[in-house]
Amino acid sequence: MKTNQSFRLVLVALVGLLCLAGPAAAELRIDITRGQVEPLPVAVTDFFGAGQAEIQVGRDVARVVSGDLERSGLFAPIDPRAFIQTPETLRVQPRFGDWRIINAQALVTGLAEQQADGRLKIEFRLWDVYGELQMAGLAYFTTPDNWRRVAHIVADAIYKRMTGEDGYFDSRIVYVSETGPQDKRIKRLAIMDQDGENHRFLTDGRALVLTPRFSPSTQEITYLSYFNNKPRVYLFNIDTGQQEVLGEFPGMTFAPRFSPDGNRVAMSMAHNGNSEIYVMDLRTRKVTRLTNDPAIDTSPSYSPDAKYIAFNSDRGGSQQIYVMNAAGGEVKRISFAKGRYGTPVWSPRGDLIAFTRMAEGKFYIGVMRPDGSGERLLTEGFLVEGPTWAPNGRVLSFFRQTPGDAKGRGATSRLYTIDLTGYNEREVITPLDGSDPAWSPLIP
């Protein structure tokens, strides 16, 4: 009887101990609050090809994909000379150990194959080297001469899978190509792929052109042109080459920009010494006035949800950025630091407004949140202007002028891109000088 009791006691004690042990065996927890800001090492292998032509295409596609990823600043393609595994054996299965040795965190493999019907098949796979998994895999069929475009599409797919954001490599940039002495500058509209390839001129340079803007939905550009010395806003269709004046206004119109759906163009009109912002519906050609203030109101830019318009105005004494409702009204100033602010451009992802700021004899390209907070200046120079967002709202393009001598000789104007973190500033190589870049949406 007594034993039984002590036995019970022991049991109770044991159970109690077990209860204590349960929660106490919790895991060790460590907070990781810092990491590295550096590009992700990625191995882009030549896409496998069986025949001579296919081998060449496979190599070219890999080169374009690798170039796109590298320029984004988020990826560091590994020198192919370090690769251990060959494209032939990669067709079967990657030997992930071979890729970990050279520090690759992601691996891109692919295939270029001529089809019986004359089409070209380009296929890629993205591998997680440490997880030893395929992360993405797609195939495209196209005409053989369209390989470059497919390469950009492949790069976009990889970018999206790795960063979560849509890519921007399958896009173009229209800009003003400049040549000749400063007093007799020839300015032509030109267009190229975002990496500078496939460059061509759109206008012949007889009329001065300024501030081209891409339609977010169609292959159309709106811009300012001086025809017969009269500055007007024009519409240009890239596919057809057709050009038309946008409306007959009593005064000069300038600073046009499309609405997010591409159906409207907001612009400024100067009349009797006063500039106001107007919007024109491209379908009905109906024009509505949005601002009414004796100050200069210009550079309208829609928010991606089309609810608001950012613009700049000197109504407060100096030129600053304001936001109003898209139908006009409820004007709110959002920039307050010293200097002047201009050309606000709303990011396609909505979280930032890019702008130009002029202070103490210098120009800056910066970003701020739509409520004016978090202002950050990304780059500076003698003259940096014309920010334009890549379609994913991650990268900006702008142009940078450097001064020449007293007569303006040696001055240059070049296009650049920069990541919104302020890093990875790069020149976009153009045949001549360039200014006023405008990034297209992703090519439909």
Partner 1 sequence: MTRGAILSAILHIAVLLLVIFGLPFFWSPDETLEIVPVQIATMADLAAAKSQETPPKPVEKTEPKPLPPPAPPQPLPQPVEEPVPEPEPEPVPEPEPVPEPEPVPVPEPVPVPEPVPEPAPVPEPEPVVAPEPVPEPEQVAETPPPEPKLVPPQKPKPPKRKKAVEEPKPEPAASDFTSVLKNVEKLKQTASAEPTPPEPETLPAPQPQPAVNPADQLSASDIDAIRQQVAGCWIVDVGMRGIEEMAVEVHVQLNPDGSVFTADFDRTMAATDPNWWIFAESALRAVKKCSPLPMPTTRPYSAWQYLTLVFNAREMLGL
Q: Which residues 289-328 are close enough to bind partner 1 by CB under 8 A?
A: none
Instruction: Please state the closest distance from residue 137 (CB atom) to partner 1, in A.
Output: 4
Q: Does 379 bind partner 1 (CB under 8 A)?
A: yes
Residue 291 or 440 having the CB closest to partner 1: 440
Contact range with partner 1 by CB under 8 A, out of 252-260, 261-269, 373-381, 399-407: 373-381
Q: Which of residues 164-203 bind partner 1 (CB under 8 A)?
A: 164-165, 170, 198, 200, 202
Instruction: Please state the closest distance from residue 38 (CB atom) to partner 1, in A.
Output: 6
Q: Does 84 bind partner 1 (CB under 8 A)?
A: no
For residue 200, give both structure tokens.
């061509």
Contact range with partner 1 by CB under 8 A, out of 222-230, 253-261, 304-312, 420-428: 420-428
Q: Does 369 bind partner 1 (CB under 8 A)?
A: no
Contact range with partner 1 by CB under 8 A, out of 28-36, 180-188, 274-282, 298-306: 28-36
Q: Which of residues 3-22 bind partner 1 (CB under 8 A)?
A: 3-4, 6-7, 10, 13-14, 17, 20-21
Q: Max CA-CA distance within the chain?
A: 118
Site string for partner 1, 127-146 (x = CB under 8 A): -x-xxxxxxxxxxxxxx-xx
Taking CB under 8 A as the criterion, the residue among 35, 250, 361, 410 binding partner 1 is 35
Q: SS3 of 177, please?
A: strand
Instruction: Please state the closest distance from residue 321 (CB atom) to partner 1, in A.
Output: 15
Q: Does 121 bind partner 1 (CB under 8 A)?
A: yes
C-alpha span between 335 and 234 (Å, rounded) = 30
Instruction: Spell out a b/e string for 211-238, using b for 16 or more CB atoms within 10 Å of the CB, else e.
Output: bbbbbbebbbbbbbbeeeeeebbbbbeb
C-alpha span between 139 and 118 (Å, rounded) = 16
Residue 235 or 290 having the CB closest to partner 1: 235
Handedness of CA 139, 141, 144, 149 (dihedral sign): negative
C-alpha span between 90 and 350 (Å, rounded) = 41
Instruction: Please state the closest distance from residue 305 (CB atom) to partner 1, in A.
Output: 15
Q: Which of residues 259-288 bind partner 1 (CB under 8 A)?
A: none
Phi, psi at 147, each rounded to 5°: -60, -35
Q: Are the C-beta atoms of 348 and 304 separated by less than 8 Å? A: yes
Transcribe 255-283 into DSSP letters. EEEE-TTSSEEEEEEEETTEEEEEEEETT
Handedness of CA 421, 218, 196, 167 (dihedral sign): positive
Which contiguous run of DSSP H or E holds residue 155? helix 147-163
Q: How many residues bind partner 1 (CB under 8 A)?
A: 98
